[in-house]
Amino acid sequence: MADIATIWDSAASRGDWALPSRDRFVTDAAGRPVIGPDGFAVPIGPAGAMASAGLLSGRDIQTAVLISLFTDAAAGPDDAVPPGIDPRGWWADPDIGSKLWLLARSKRTPATLQLAIAYVRQAVAWMIADQLADAIDVTAEWQAGNRLAGQVVVIHRGAQTPVPFDYAWKDLA
The per-residue pLDDT string of the chain (173 residues; one tens digit each, 9 = 90 and over) reads: 455 666 666 666 666 666 555 456 667 677 676 776 666 666 665 544 444 445 555 568 888 898 899 899 999 889 988 788 889 988 788 778 999 999 877 888 999 999 999 999 999 999 999 999 999 999 999 988 678 899 999 999 999 999 988 877 665 44
pLDDT of residue 106: 85
pLDDT of residue 126: 94
pLDDT of residue 151: 94
Please, are residues 146 and 122 in contact by the beta-carbon 8 Å criterion?
no
pLDDT of residue 83: 81
Please, are residues 133 and 127 in contact by the beta-carbon 8 Å criterion?
yes
pLDDT of residue 78: 92
pLDDT of residue 20: 55
How far, in whole angstroms, is CA 171 from its chain's centroid?
A: 22
Hey, what CATH class is 60-168 in?
Answer: alpha beta
Please, are residues 133 and 163 in contact by the beta-carbon 8 Å criterion?
no
Radius of gyration from C-alpha coordinates of the chain:
19
CA distance 74 to 77: 10
For 23, counting Cβ atoms within 10 Å of its Cβ (0-12 exposed, 13-18 middle, 19+ buried), the class is exposed
Per-residue three-class SS string for 104-124 = CCCCCCHHHHHHHHHHHHHHH
CA distance 63 to 163: 9
Q: With CA atoms as reference, report the closest residue to 140 among 165, 160, 123.
A: 165
For the chain, the structural domain boundaries read 60-168
